Amino acid sequence: MARKSKQWRRIRGKAALDQVNKDVQGALRLLDSERADGIIGDATAEHKVLMKGVQGVVSLTWAFMTATGLRDNDQTRLRMAQGQAMLLTMCHYAYALGIEKGRGEAMGG
């Protein structure tokens, strides 16, 4: 079987990256920070633990990636920070949506 060209892999990689970007944007459109903050109110101990957990996973991921050859430079740190911000935001939104759903179920909805 013939090997795929670099061009093909690049195009396929870009298409996959575009789909991932669409998926992330779709998740981030579920709520906005103001509405999520309003639903959550004061952060609970559980919320704080979840946020610290996400930060911990990102730190472990960074450690694994740099240990296996990822360059530790301004650009990679910026990308990792952007990813962490997106993960924290999605976790915050998911927590808020869970609260909202729980409230609806408590009211018989």
Q: How many domains does the chain have?
A: 1
- Report yes or no on 87 lying in a domain: yes
Supply 38's token pair: 């309003």
- Inside any domain, residue 24: no
Q: How far apart are CA 42 and CA 63, in angstroms?
A: 32
Q: Is the pLDDT reported for residue 1 higher than 50?
A: no
Q: Is residue 57 part of a domain?
A: yes
Residue 93 domain-assigned? yes
- Entry pTM: 0.78
- What average pLDDT score do residues 3-28 get? 79
* Distance from C-alpha of 42 to C-alpha of 21, rounded to nearest angstrom: 31
